[in-house]
């Protein structure tokens, strides 16, 4: 490395060290906003988050920082791998924000933060019309922000607005890819769902709605965190309207859940899901944080891990065997007449339902397809914001044969659109990733034995070495190819669902 390259690297590192502090503060405030902030204080706190975020953004608009970052990108062959990854990330970010002033960025952030507050109000009132004006603003911001970007490859055909939004969450994925992947899902899963629903095999679920106190559900949450080896010295958990995970620093990763008196499994599996996210952050290489590349992983990578722990592990027979004694001890009135097999089958029942986060593993994909098709139409202009409730209800009838009675259980159930479009497909792509690497994992670990015995140090260690270690450094297609030797496909996921649910329903 030449002296000039070293100096430029130092300039970048110094600026990012300060910017990281603003980002850390925003994460802490946002966690507060979504957990314990008083309702009447939410809008003001959102404004404070927008202000601090913009102060961090201003640091990256400094000409000296931009010059240093672009110099590193041009001389990235001189850099060690982690710093070369940083140079590529900074160059991409520079092209995306080159034409966005701090004033414009502040206005964008304000729109998103206020949209979250409007979403909360609209959901509580079950009235989409209260959220619609903010959603129009969010859509306008997404379109404007994309219009201001410089292309990464000026010689390539211009991508659609929606493809560019998808790329923000999952680099390289396009509507063409998703249409093919989701087309395969519809082709193979819709006929099988009809067979499952017509099966004479009936699964007992009555005990899932037996009432459980918040106190008992908190005990269960702590029990599951212990089973999964979530480090409470480096993490915390609490409750919120919509469960999420926030990673703030190497030793500060926080998760949330919610408690429903008559749906104890909801909290159990939100805890397992969010713990998957948290483990990804806790067990990533410390070097990635030190080199400012810890946010390089994509959301489909992240969702692959959270849904791996939630479903491939959490709903497996081995895991149910591991936790059955704990569930019986913590929920004695619920489990007084429930066998281990009955618990396993109930946790895997297929039943079309309205709420995505409560959906069974089999029908979940259709919740994502519905959202994908709606947001693709919104961003392209084929549908308007006012069409959302109607489209939502029509697509639930089409794919799942059910229809929401109100906006709260329909188009207002998810928080995601308050911060923009393009996130939802990552959940389904994540399922496809984890099905692919699961097929490698099961050949390298005696997975049933590991899970049934509670040896999560072995499982988490394998994940850290093979799934987490390179995630910040590789584009998604490179990452999944390095892990599995293959390109992204829906086949492993669909094969898994067909095998599991044909067996479960004796089809």
Residue ranges per structural domain of the chain: 3-158, 175-504
Hey, how many other C-beta atoms are within 10 angstroms of the C-beta on 19? Answer: 18
460 SS3 class: helix
Is-contact 24 289, C-beta < 8 A? Answer: no
Q: What is the model's pTM?
A: 0.94
> What pLDDT is recorded for position 178?
98
Is-contact 432 181, C-beta < 8 A? Answer: yes
Q: Is the dihedral of CA 314, 320, 322, 328 positive or negative?
A: positive
Architecture of the domain spanning 175-504: Orthogonal Bundle (1.10)
> What pLDDT is recorded for position 157?
87
Q: pLDDT tens across 114-172, in order?
A: 999 999 999 999 999 999 999 999 999 999 999 999 998 888 888 999 999 999 999 99
- Active-site positions read 274
Give the contacts of 279 (CB within 8 A, at least 6 positions apart): 228, 230, 305, 309, 460, 463
> What pLDDT is recorded for position 152?
87
411 SS3 class: coil
DSSP calls for 212-266 = --HHHHHHHHHHHHHHHT--TTTEEEEE-SS--EEEEETTEEEEEE---TT-HHH
Q: Which residues of the chain have pLDDT under 50?
A: none
Closest CA to 113 of 60, 28, 48: 48
> What pLDDT is recorded for position 321?
98
Distances (CA, A) of 407 to 123, 375, 390: 7, 17, 10
> What pLDDT is recorded for position 291?
96
Q: pLDDT tens across 3-45, in order?
A: 999 999 999 999 999 999 999 999 999 999 999 999 999 999 9
Q: What is the DSSP letter of 408?
A: T
Hey, how many other C-beta atoms are within 10 angstroms of the C-beta on 314? Answer: 25
> What pLDDT is recorded for position 1?
83
Closest CA to 220 of 312, 332, 306, 307: 332
Hey, how many other C-beta atoms are within 10 angstroms of the C-beta on 493? Answer: 25
Q: How far is CA 106 from the centre of its chain?
A: 25
């Amino acid at each position: 490395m030449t002296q000039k390259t070293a100096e430029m690297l130092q300039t970048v590192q110094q600026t990012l060290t300060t910017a990281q502090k603003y980002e850390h503060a925003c994460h802490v405030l946002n966690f507060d906003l979504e957990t314990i902030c008083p309702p009447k204080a939410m809008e003001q706190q959102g404004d404070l988050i927008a202000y601090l975020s913009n102060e961090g953004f201003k640091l990256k608009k400094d000409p000296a920082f931009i010059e240093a970052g672009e110099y590193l990108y041009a001389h990235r062959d001189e850099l060690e791998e982690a710093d070369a990854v940083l140079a590529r990330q900074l160059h991409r970010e520079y092209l995306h924000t080159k034409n966005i002033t701090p004033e414009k960025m502040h206005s964008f952030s304000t729109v998103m933060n206020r949209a979250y507050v409007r979403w909360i109000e609209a959901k509580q009132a079950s009235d989409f019309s209260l959220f619609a004006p903010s959603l129009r603003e969010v859509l306008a911001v997404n379109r404007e922000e994309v219009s201001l970007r410089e292309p990464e490859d000026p010689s390539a055909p211009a991508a659609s607005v929606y493809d560019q939004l998808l790329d923000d969450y999952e680099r390289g994925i396009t509507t063409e890819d998703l249409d093919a992947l989701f087309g395969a899902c519809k082709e193979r899963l819709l006929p099988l769902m009809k067979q499952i629903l017509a099966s004479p095999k009936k699964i007992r679920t009555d005990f899932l709605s037996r009432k459980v106190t918040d106190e008992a559900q908190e005990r269960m949450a702590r029990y599951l965190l212990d089973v999964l080896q979530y480090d409470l010295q480096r993490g915390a958990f609490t409750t919120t309207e919509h469960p999420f995970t926030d990673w703030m620093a190497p030793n500060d990763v926080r998760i949330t859940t919610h408690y429903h008196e008559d749906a104890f499994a909801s909290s159990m599996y939100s805890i397992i899901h969010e713990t998957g996210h948290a483990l990804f952050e806790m067990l990533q290489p410390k070097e990635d944080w030190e080199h400012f590349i810890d946010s390089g992983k994509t959301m489909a990578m992240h969702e692959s891990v959270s849904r791996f722990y939630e479903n491939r592990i959490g709903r497996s027979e081995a895991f149910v065997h591991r936790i059955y004694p704990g569930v019986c001890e913590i929920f004695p009135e619920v489990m007084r007449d429930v066998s281990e097999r009955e618990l396993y089958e109930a946790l895997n029942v297929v039943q079309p339902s309205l709420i995505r986060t409560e959906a069974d593993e089999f029908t979940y994909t259709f919740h994502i397809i519905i959202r994908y098709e709606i947001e693709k139409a919104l961003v392209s202009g084929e549908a308007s914001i006012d069409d959302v409730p109607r489209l939502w209800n029509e697509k639930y009838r089409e794919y799942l044969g059910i229809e929401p009675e109100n906006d709260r259980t329909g188009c207002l159930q998810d928080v995601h659109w308050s911060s923009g479009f393009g996130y939802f497909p990552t959940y389904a792509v994540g399922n496809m990733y984890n099905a692919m690497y699961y097929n490698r994992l099961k050949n390298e670990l005696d997975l049933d034995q590991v899970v049934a015995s509670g040896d999560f140090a072995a499982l988490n260690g394998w994940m850290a070495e093979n799934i987490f270690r390179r995630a910040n450094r590789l584009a998604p297609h490179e990452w999944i190819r390095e892990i599995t030797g293959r390109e992204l496909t829906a086949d492993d996921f669909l094969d898994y669902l067909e095998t599991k649910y044909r067996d479960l329903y004796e089809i």
